């Protein structure tokens, strides 16, 4: 007996590998899931990447850029108020 495929529909999912951040699953600024995107983007992925700080907090790149651009932020991490620096490793 031979089987012939007439139609094939692939289904896939993806997710960011944010392994070391523990139980955090959402951006601490916009509260959207890391597997999603920030409020400014329509499609998650490489156009809406995640950014890790030296303090080990993670945010959508667009969210932390907006946060740092505000005067009241004093260029500090919104979670622990340490000076915000992008992790370099």
45-85 pLDDT, tens per residue? Answer: 778 888 999 988 999 999 999 999 999 989 999 999 999 99
- What is the tens place of the pLDDT at every residue in 8-51? 888 876 666 665 554 568 899 999 988 888 999 988 777 888 89
Q: What's the rounded Cα separation, in Å, for the pair 44 and 89?
A: 23
Which of these CATH numbers, 3.90.1150.200, 3.40.50.1000, 3.30.40.10, 3.40.50.2300, describes 24-73?
3.30.40.10
Characterize 37-73 residue by residue with b for buried, 16 or more Cβ atoms within 10 angstroms of its Cβ, and e for exposed: bbeeeeebeeebebbbbebebbbbebbbebbeeeeee
Question: What was the pLDDT predicted at 4?
Answer: 87
Domain layout of the chain by residue ranges: 24-73
Place of tokens 């009241």: 72
């Amino acid at each position: 007996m031979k089987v012939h495929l007439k139609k094939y529909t692939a289904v896939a999912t993806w997710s960011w590998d944010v392994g070391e951040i523990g139980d955090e699953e959402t951006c601490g600024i916009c509260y959207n899931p890391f597997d999603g995107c920030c409020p400014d983007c329509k499609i998650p992925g490489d156009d809406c990447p995640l950014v890790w700080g030296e303090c080990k907090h993670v945010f959508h790149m667009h969210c932390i850029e907006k946060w740092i651009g505000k005067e009241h932020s004093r260029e500090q991490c919104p979670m622990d108020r340490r000076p915000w620096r992008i992790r370099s490793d």
